[in-house]
Chains A and B, each alone.
Chain A
Amino acid sequence: MGKGVALSTAEPMGAARWLLRGHSALVYAFFYAPIVVLAFYSFNESQLVGRWSGFSLRWYEAFLQNDNIQSSLWVSVKICVASTVISVVLGTLAALSIERFRWWGQKAFDAVLYLPIIIPDVTMAVMMLVFFGETAELFNIIPGVDLTNGLEKLVLSHVAFNISFVSVVVRARLANLDAAMEEAAADLYANRWQAFRRVTLPQIMPGVLGGALLAVTLSLDDVVVSSFVSAVGATPVSVYVFGMLRKGVSPLINAVSVVILAASMTLVMASLALERATSSRKR
Chain B
Amino acid sequence: MSEASVAVGLHGVVKRFGDVVAVDNLDLDIRDGEFFSLLGPSGCGKTTTLRMIAGLELPTAGSVTIHGEEMGIRPPNKRPVNTVFQSYALFPHMDVARNVGFGLEMRKVPKEERSSLIDWAIDLVEMGAMAHRKPAQLSGGQQQRVALARALVNRPEVLLLDEPLGALDLKLRHQMQHELKELQREVGITFVYVTHDQEEAVTMSDRIGVMHDGKLLQVDSPERIYEHPTTRFVADFIGQTNFLEATVASADEVVLANGDRLRLSTDHDGGAAVAVTVRPERLTVHGRDEAPVGAHSLDGVVDSVVYMGNAINYTISVDWMHLEVRCPATLADDRKYEGDEVTVSFDPDHASVVVG
Binding site for B on A (CB under 8 A): 178, 180-181, 183-191, 194, 198-199, 202-203, 282
The prevalent SS among residues of A at the interface is helix
| Contact indicator B103/A180 (Cβ below 8 Å) | no
Chain B residues, Cβ within 8 Å of A202: 93
Distance, CA A186 to CA B102, complexed state (A): 11
Chain A residues, Cβ within 8 Å of B91: 181, 184-185, 198-199
Distance, CA A112 to CA B83, complexed state (A): 38
A-B CB contacts (within 8 Å), total count: 61
| Contact indicator B134/A282 (Cβ below 8 Å) | yes
The smallest beta-carbon distance between B274 and chain A, in angstroms, is 43
| Contact indicator A178/B89 (Cβ below 8 Å) | yes
Partner of A188, one of B86, B92, B93, B154: B154
| Contact indicator A184/B83 (Cβ below 8 Å) | yes
Distance, CA A188 to CA B93, complexed state (A): 16
Write the chain A residue with the least CB distance to B153. A188
| Contact indicator B85/A188 (Cβ below 8 Å) | no
Chain A residues, Cβ within 8 Å of B56: 183, 186-187
| Contact indicator A183/B89 (Cβ below 8 Å) | yes
Mark each residue of chain B from 76 to 94: 1 if its CB lies under 8 Å from any CB of chain A, else 0. 1110011101110111110
Distance, CA A186 to CA B89, complexed state (A): 12
Distance, CA A247 to CA B294, complexed state (A): 115
Distance, CA A190 to CA B92, complexed state (A): 17
Q: Count of chain B residues with Cβ under 8 Å from any Cβ of A?
A: 26
| Contact indicator A203/B75 (Cβ below 8 Å) | no
| Contact indicator A187/B93 (Cβ below 8 Å) | no
Given contacts A180-B86, A203-B93, 9 further A-B contacts (CB under 8 A): A180-B87, A181-B91, A184-B85, A184-B91, A185-B91, A185-B102, A191-B75, A199-B91, A202-B93
Chain B residues, Cβ within 8 Å of A178: 87, 89
Chain B residues, Cβ within 8 Å of A183: 56, 76, 83, 85, 89
Q: For the complex, is B228 an interface residue (Cβ under 8 Å from A)?
A: no
Known A189-B106, A194-B106, A282-B134; contact A184-B89, beta-carbon cutoff 8 A: yes
Known A194-B106, A202-B93, A203-B92; contact A187-B87, beta-carbon cutoff 8 A: no
| Contact indicator A188/B103 (Cβ below 8 Å) | yes
Q: For the complex, is B254 an interface residue (Cβ under 8 Å from A)?
A: no
Distance, CA A202 to CA B91, complexed state (A): 10
Q: For the complex, is B107 an interface residue (Cβ under 8 Å from A)?
A: yes
| Contact indicator A189/B103 (Cβ below 8 Å) | yes
Partner of A190, one of B85, B86, B89, B106: B106
List, sorted by A's number, 23 A–B pairs whose CB atoms are closer than 8 Å: A178-B87, A180-B87, A181-B91, A184-B85, A184-B89, A184-B90, A185-B91, A186-B55, A186-B75, A186-B76, A187-B54, A187-B82, A188-B77, A188-B106, A188-B151, A188-B154, A189-B77, A189-B78, A189-B106, A191-B75, A191-B77, A198-B102, A203-B93
